[in-house]
Amino acid sequence: MDEGKLRAWWFHRQGLDGGLAGEPPAKVLERTGWARSIGGAGPYLGFRARNGTGREAIDGAVAALEIHELPSARGCTYVVPASAFALALKLSQSFGPEADMRVARKLGVTDAEVDALCEAVLAALRQASLSPDELRTATGGAARGLGEEGKKKGLTTTLPLALGRLQSAGEIRRIPINGRLDQQRYRYTLWRPNPLAGFRLTPEECNAELARLFFFWAGPASLADFQVFAALGVKAAKAAAEPLQLVPLAAGDERLLLPDQRRELDAFAAPKAPRYALVSSLDGILLQRRGLQSLLAAEDWSQMAAGDKGQVEVAGLTDLPNHAILDRGRLIGLWEYDPEAGEIAWTCFLRPDAALREQVRATERFIRDELGDMRSFSLDSPQSRLPRIDQLRAAQPA
C-alpha cells in the first residue's frame, strides 16, 4: 500500500477533504470520531475543517443536546453525538470515578459518605441547576474539604467525587456557563431522562462496540492504537476486536481494517492537487494513532517542532506540541495562534503556495472573529505559548 494514498484515505475518512460539508455536528462525530475537548478550542476547529460549521451553530447543537461533552473512553471528556451518550458514559465508569475514589479512601473518605453526598446533590438539583460553589452551599455539611494532603493529591473537597460519579451514571450533566466548549466553568443539572435508562450492554459488549467505532473512524489502525485509545489490556483489546473480523492492510502489516473498508480503500484514488487543513493538536486524525510517523513523508522525519523546552524532532513524538497543517493527510507544517497580534505563527516543511497561505488566513480570521483565541487545553495561555510562537515565527515562511 502506497503510504501517500493511505494518508489521503485517512484525510478523506476524517472528512477533511470537504466530503462532510454542511453535515450537522452530530453526523460529523458519528462519521469521524468523538472530539477531545479538555477546555480547548480544538472541537470548534475540527468541525469547521470538516463541515464548515461556525461556533454559534456548534454551541447551538450543544444546547439542543444533539452533541454533548461528557466522560467517555478512558474516563476522558469528549464531545459525543447523542447516539453515543449511553455508550460513552458506560465506558467512563471503569475509569474516572473509581480512580478518584481510590485516592479519596486513602484520605479517609468512605463510600457511604460519597453516597450521602450524591443524594444531597440530586436533592439540590431538583430545585435548580447550580454551579459547584452553589452546590457546596446547597448540600450543607455533606461536602467537606480534604486539607493540604488532599490538595497535594489533586482532590481538595469531596464534591468532585459525587459530581464525577453522578455524571458517569447519567444522573446529572454539566452545562457550560457561557455555552462554549473552550472553557471549564459549568453549572450542573439533572439529566432526564437518564441516557443510560434501558441501556443493557455489558462492559465487554461496550468494548466491542467501541472497537467497531474506532476502526470505522481510524482504519487501517493497529490493535495497539485501539488499545491505547480505549485504555484496555492486550487480551481485552483482542477480545473486543475479534467479532469485527478485521483484515490486515497487507501481509505482515499490523494495521487492520473492516472488510468493507478494504474494498473502499482499494478503489480510492488520492487527489492529485493539494488539499489543506489546519487542525488542532488534539484532532482525531492525530489522536487516533499513537505516534506521528504514519502522517509524515519519509523526507520529513527529521523536521523539528517548537516545544516548550526547545526544538524537538517531529518523528519521535507521540503527540504534537503545536497544531498541525495537513495536505491530504500528510503533516506538512505546524502553527500556533498569537491572540495579541491576532495572527497565526506557522512554519511549513514545503514551499507554501497561494492556496495554503489563504487557508492560513481563513483559519486566522475564524479564530480571531469567532473564538478569540485557540487554546489547546484549559491551562494553555498566550503567555505559556510564547516560546512556541517565537520559535515558529523565527521559521515562518517569507
For the stretch 260-307, pLDDT in tens is 999 999 999 999 999 999 999 999 999 998 889 999 999 999 998 876
Of 219, 221, 163, 176, residue with least CA distance to 79: 176
Residue 31: inside a domain, yes or no?
no
Distance CA 286, CA 173 (A): 28
The conformation of residue 301, written as its DSSP 8-state character, comes to T
User: What was the pLDDT predicted at 305?
Assistant: 86
Cβ of 106: how many Cβ atoms within 10 Å? 12
Cell triple for residue 100? Answer: 478518584
User: What was the pLDDT predicted at 311?
Assistant: 82
For residues 250 and 350, state if they share a domain: no
Bridge partner residues of 112 (DSSP): none
Contact 158, 52 (CB under 8 A): no
Which of 243, 270, 297 delimits the end of a domain?
270
For the stretch 100-120, pLDDT in tens is 898 999 999 999 999 999 999
Which of 233, 254, 270 delimits the end of a domain?
270
Residue 80: inside a domain, yes or no?
no
The mean per-residue pLDDT over the stretch 233-250 comes to: 96
Which of 231, 246, 270 delimits the end of a domain?
270
Residue 81: inside a domain, yes or no?
no
Distance CA 188, CA 127 (A): 12
Kindly report the CA angle at 125 between 119 and 129, in degrees rounded to 5? 155
Q: Return the minimum-mean-pLDDT range out of 23-37, 114-128, 287-301.
A: 287-301
For residues 301 and 250, state if they share a domain: no
For the stretch 320-369, pLDDT in tens is 999 999 999 999 999 999 999 999 999 999 999 999 999 999 999 999 99
For residues 218 and 266, state if they share a domain: yes
38: helix, coil or strand?
A: coil
Residue 346: inside a domain, yes or no?
yes
Residue 258: inside a domain, yes or no?
yes
Residue 318: inside a domain, yes or no?
yes
Range among 7-11, 94-98, 386-390 rated most confident = 7-11
For the stretch 153-200, pLDDT in tens is 889 999 999 999 999 999 999 999 999 999 889 999 999 999 999 999
Residue 194: inside a domain, yes or no?
no
Count of domains observed in the chain: 3
User: What was the pLDDT predicted at 306?
Assistant: 75
Q: Burial, 190: exposed, middle or buried (Cβ in 10 Å; 0-12, 13-18, 19+)? A: middle
Cell 462519521 appears where?
Answer: 31
Contact 172, 188 (CB under 8 A): yes
Distance CA 63, CA 55 (A): 12
- Give residue 102's domain range: 94-168
The mean per-residue pLDDT over the stretch 116-137 comes to: 96
Which residues fall within 8 angstroms of residue 358, CB to CB, at 6 or more apart?
none
Whether the predicted pLDDT of 308 surpasses 70: no
For residues 285 and 390, state if they share a domain: yes
Q: What percent of the chain has pLDDT over 70?
A: 99
Cβ of 41: how many Cβ atoms within 10 Å? 27
Cβ of 157: how many Cβ atoms within 10 Å? 17
Residue 5: inside a domain, yes or no?
no
Which residues fall within 8 angstroms of residue 171, CB to CB, at 6 or more apart?
118, 122, 190, 191, 194
